[in-house]
Structure 1
Amino acid sequence: MTDQGNDRESIGARLKRARKARSQSQRAFAEAMDMPLPSYRDYEGGKRVPGGEALRRLAGAGIDTHWLLTGEDLAPPAAAPAMAHDTRGTYRTRGPDGNTAGPPDTRRLTEVLTAVETALEDMDRQLPPARKAELAAALYGLYEETGKAPSRRTLERFIRSAS
């Protein structure tokens, strides 16, 4: 699958730029993301688009997934994580002081879940609950980063990569 986003720079090129900003080799970066090196190479080489789990890991390490997927530079590629992984495996927004804030915004989460369900139905696709949860977590993180609900195009891109 090739990148359909920004014509000037592909997802793979942005991923490489984020990795280089951290002065890491492909192997070190893949290990830090806990993903197989061949998979990471495929992402960076533009052969595959990162799926929900890979996006979750990248977001958890501070990669702005909105920037990665669209090229819209809302935050630098090596910025601090927008989402904090807690010990229960859930994601919560970070407050301005960098500490984990309260529970996720229920209204935003409802909007994301409704949009995912509607898009899946419109695209005549199904996802297992775990993949759907990963997708929703990544999209919720994107919503938190940008302050606006994901566009239909972004939803469809995430769904295709999660399928």
Structure 2
Amino acid sequence: MKFKEFIKDSFVLVGFSAAGKWDEDIVYPIPRLWEKSRKFISERDADKIVGVCLPPRSNHYFYTCGMEMNSVDFHKIDEGMTIHTFPEQKYVVFKHIGSSKTIPSTYEKIWSVFDKEGYSIKEGMPEIEVVSTDMFGKEETKEYEMEVSIPVK
């Protein structure tokens, strides 16, 4: 699986958030958060939808999905939304291509490459998922694409 390294500038994310977990009673809020954010993003003519997961690679996590901004703008925030700021950070970026149902297998490949290459997760930084808005409606097709960025030390 191919990947690249890059430094992401600091950014602000405004969106909808929820806690989730993978062990015992699975709580999986991500599809619901993407759907709520998709509506919000479409109304604001944004070109991408962004999801962040804290901490990365964890069975218990906090997920936010929405849109990225350069600075805090409270006029763009609806009731029930959260806002998060993140500093500049180095990431390794992978690309998922295919139905959204195959994202878990893509993550298995990502973690295998991540470990094989000797990377370590930077604590306190988010894992980032980015999808172009022109992918809306293509989630179940083989053309669907998503970038996955993992924060590294």
TM-score scaled to structure 1, two decimals?
0.28
TM-score scaled to structure 2, two decimals?
0.29
Bigger helix fraction: 1
Bigger strand fraction: 2
